Structure 1
């Protein structure tokens, strides 16, 4: 909404600026035209020039200089010299039109000075006691033949012009505000409706005004989003219930498989080959159990239904204890663990859920074991960088290619993978590790290990 108001304000400022610019442009053009008229010296100055250019020869004749002839030629004017006593023409230019009177009374001279002789605009100038009159082409000048404007009007003309301009600007601004206020009343609910769409609020815009068609479209979009959200919630609820149901229903038969497989494996009366098969069944069943548990935990973390028991946890002790547990289970010694000591290990404490972090570290160790069935060495360390504590689990196993590493980094959701079905199950343990890190306000990073294997770093905020 603020952006729309800014747009309207910008439009108002642009309009006012345009009006002011137009006013100054017109004023400049008026000055330019007036300057050109003044540069032409006008009809009255031409009469003065001709009067000064006319000389008497002494024998009753007169001679007009080249300057005077140039003025008459340039302005296409004619000239006469009227005697002061008799009113007769003493001299005239060679281009005197036909029908021009040869004698003038005081009254006719007064009319000529104010206006015209036979529709020719007239200007005058003194020549001693006599009178010089210049006649110009009939449509060259417009003359006022009466006192039309009083002195006060001329004196207050600038104020009058400013008053008219001000009234016009106020009227334009008033009309603009009336029009835009109506538009704003129509735009405001539409903008509020658009802003409310991503906020997941119930949206309804009254379908009236100038933007009624847009309001109808917004209401349809809001209804469609509500339906999609409802359907999505149904799907998510069904998925969560399915995962919880499978986790619950598979627990009993899986426990029976594990129990019977352990009994067969420990039965000394059976051949070693059969006991080995039972051991494989037990190991794969145990892996299946861990996968189901991971899936169930990942679902709970996603829907924020997994309770977090936050406490101050010493990450060094947690990682070491997890490593010891796995070493005790590795009876064949295929997965030795080396502890990489660091100077900043003693300060690695975090506010975290101990059980979840231990699960994350266990998943990383299991991940290395699963992808290196012939055995590998694991390198584990704990350190601190500024405010973040890091847990590093690395192996010297087969590792992954650059392409596989990029796929792991961009792996889709553990349940959402419509196109790349081959990636659907890959990295479930790593995704769970990422989720655990994120619920603690941290993150996870995967890369190639220094020993050529796979390397994972968990970062979580440390305590002061």
Structure 2
């Protein structure tokens, strides 16, 4: 709705501005045209020039060549009347005009027409000089304006301009409101399409064609949504089915392998082979579990069970589990929890968050079975560092897991930071993909990168509800 109001405001402002600009341009054109039209012939200059060029020599009048050119340039004929109204000289005088005029005749044509001939008069030393143009060559109209009006002409001008502007705004608002009524169903339809809701707009009116196209697009999107939903359900069901079918025979393999591994009557080589079978079976089981979980997270089919979680305690628990799992001496785990993060509490699924931290640590250990080549030579160990901090500015709990191992393969790193096709679940990097999905499901962000030397660094930023117990207590009141 805000966008529609913005459209209406811009439409009204634009329409009013256009109307105002056109009004100003029309006034400017009118003024220029009037000035040019009035200046097409400089009347006073021509008449005075002709009057000065008409001289009396003995008993006749002589018009100089300059005067003749002036008559030809601005007029068609000329005559000179004496004080009695008799024509005493003429130049190209039409035959239909009288040769004598009364005072009343002179008063009548002196500012207007003489027998439909536009005329101008000028005082001559020998009488009255009359210059005439062809019929229908000029339009004359007398105008009388009160003095008070002329004194306030600027005020009237700006007043008319303001009134026209107000009228333009009102008219634009009326037309804009009408357009807005036509746009409102379309905007509602677009919003429904964005929410994946079906759209069925009326196809009549000014924007009927556009409404028809939106209806067609909505129907096509709904069909595609059904197809995609079926495909996603089929993929998730298939992954869940395969996971279920593999779990039982895999448990049997792991059980027998464990028995063979613990059988003291078997040779050591065969027991070692049984141990390898068990460990590889555990990897297959973990992979199947990750694939199933990743599929559910990707299509929002994994329900979250939110509880209040102390992230420092959760991370400590994961670290302790790794230390108690018989971790090889070539690995060491350093845990650093800052003071501000000791009591950081967030709402989330404890099982999934524990899985995310565990996956990060397991990734560092599992992909560096013999240590890093450079690091082995110097330290002979692979060091895993877990750091928990609180970002006070954005109330985020940051969990950083880094190692000095082999790092993350570039193609996996690219897919983690810029997933192009989320539907593709690859076994390589699947554990880190689950970490990203779990973080996203909790409204957080994840960052994966390789260090400039050796190893990798992963940062999880999760929104917290309180950094201190008393703050959490205050929120629950």
State the match for 1:309 in structure 2: 307
State the match for 1:35 in structure 2: 35
Report the alpha carbon displacement of residue 156 of structure 1 after superposing the two structures with TM. 9.1
What is the SS of the residue equivalent to 1:314?
helix
Residue 124 of structure 1, aligned match among 121, 125, 131: 121
- Runs (5+) with no aligned partner, structure 1: 418-422
What is the SS of the residue equivalent to 1:31?
helix
Assess, with a 3 A threshold, how the Cα gap between structure 1 residues 285 and 349 changes in structure 2: closer, same or farther. Answer: farther
CA distance in 2 between counterparts of 1:172 and 1:354 reads 64
What is the SS of the residue equivalent to 2:306?
coil
State the match for 1:194 in structure 2: 190
CA distance in 1 between counterparts of 2:192 and 2:317 reads 46
Report the alpha carbon displacement of residue 197 of structure 1 after superposing the two structures with TM. 0.5
State the match for 2:376 in structure 1: none
Q: Could you tell me whether the CA contact under 8 Å between 1:350 and 1:461 is conserved in 2?
A: no
Residue 216 (structure 2) pairs with residue 209 (structure 1): no
State the match for 1:351 in structure 2: 345
Report the alpha carbon displacement of residue 402 of structure 1 after superposing the two structures with TM. 3.8
Q: Could you tell me whether the CA contact under 8 Å between 1:44 and 1:124 is conserved in 2?
A: no
Q: Could you tell me whether the CA contact under 8 Å between 1:310 and 1:351 is conserved in 2?
A: yes
State the match for 1:230 in structure 2: 226
Alignment of 1:98-247 (within 5 A): 101-105=98-102, 109=106, 113=110, 115-116=113-114, 120-127=117-124, 131-139=127-135, 141-142=137-138, 184-247=180-243
- Runs (5+) with no aligned partner, structure 2: 372-380, 469-477
- Alpha-carbon deviations, 1:305-349, whole Å to 9, x = none? 1423333243463243133223xx24xx3642142657x367444
Assess, with a 3 A threshold, how the Cα gap between structure 1 residues 447 and 142 changes in structure 2: closer, same or farther. Answer: closer
- Alpha-carbon deviations, 1:171-207, whole Å to 9, x = none? 9999988876665544332232122101123321122
Q: Could you tell me whether the CA contact under 8 Å between 1:394 and 1:453 is conserved in 2?
A: yes
State the match for 2:407 in structure 1: 399
State the match for 1:337 in structure 2: 332
Assess, with a 3 A threshold, how the Cα gap between structure 1 residues 403 and 428 changes in structure 2: closer, same or farther. Answer: closer
Q: Could you tell me whether the CA contact under 8 Å between 1:350 and 1:460 is conserved in 2?
A: no
Alignment of 1:448-459 (within 5 A): 448-449=450-451, 452-459=454-461
CA distance in 1 between counterparts of 2:97 and 2:427 reads 115
State the match for 2:367 in structure 1: 371
CA distance in 2 between counterparts of 1:370 and 1:336 reads 11
CA distance in 1 between counterparts of 2:331 and 2:163 reads 93
Q: Could you tell me whether the CA contact under 8 Å between 2:182 and 2:207 is conserved in 1?
A: yes
Report the alpha carbon displacement of residue 286 of structure 1 after superposing the two structures with TM. 1.6
- Alpha-carbon deviations, 1:386-442, whole Å to 9, x = none? 33444444444433454553345445677x22xxxxx72111211222233334443
Q: Could you tell me whether the CA contact under 8 Å between 1:55 and 1:63 is conserved in 2?
A: yes
Structure 1 or 2, whichever has the larger Rg, is 1
Assess, with a 3 A threshold, how the Cα gap between structure 1 residues 82 and 243 changes in structure 2: closer, same or farther. Answer: closer
Report the TM-score when normalising by structure 1.
0.75
Q: Could you tell me whether the CA contact under 8 Å between 2:306 and 2:350 is conserved in 1?
A: no
Assess, with a 3 A threshold, how the Cα gap between structure 1 residues 385 and 140 changes in structure 2: closer, same or farther. Answer: same
User: When the two structures are aligned, how many residues end up with a matched partner?
Assistant: 445
State the match for 1:420 in structure 2: none
CA distance in 1 between counterparts of 2:312 and 2:86 reads 129
CA distance in 2 between counterparts of 1:16 and 1:428 reads 60
Q: Could you tell me whether the CA contact under 8 Å between 2:344 and 2:390 is conserved in 1?
A: no
Q: Could you tell me whether the CA contact under 8 Å between 2:340 and 2:390 is conserved in 1?
A: no
Assess, with a 3 A threshold, how the Cα gap between structure 1 residues 337 and 136 changes in structure 2: closer, same or farther. Answer: same
Alignment of 1:241-260 (within 5 A): 241-260=237-256
What is the SS of the residue equivalent to 2:344?
strand
- Alpha-carbon deviations, 1:87-123, whole Å to 9, x = none? 5444x25666667655445566566545326x65443
CA distance in 1 between counterparts of 2:15 and 2:134 reads 44
What is the SS of the residue equivalent to 2:202?
coil
Higher relative contact order (CA 8 A, sep 6+): 2
Residue 272 (structure 2) pairs with residue 283 (structure 1): no
State the match for 2:428 in structure 1: 426
What is the SS of the residue equivalent to 2:282?
helix
Q: Could you tell me whether the CA contact under 8 Å between 1:378 and 1:393 is conserved in 2?
A: no
Report the alpha carbon displacement of residue 264 of structure 1 after superposing the two structures with TM. 0.8
Report the TM-score when normalising by structure 2.
0.73
Residue 362 of structure 1, aligned match among 358, 361, 381: 358
Report the alpha carbon displacement of residue 304 of structure 1 after superposing the two structures with TM. 4.0
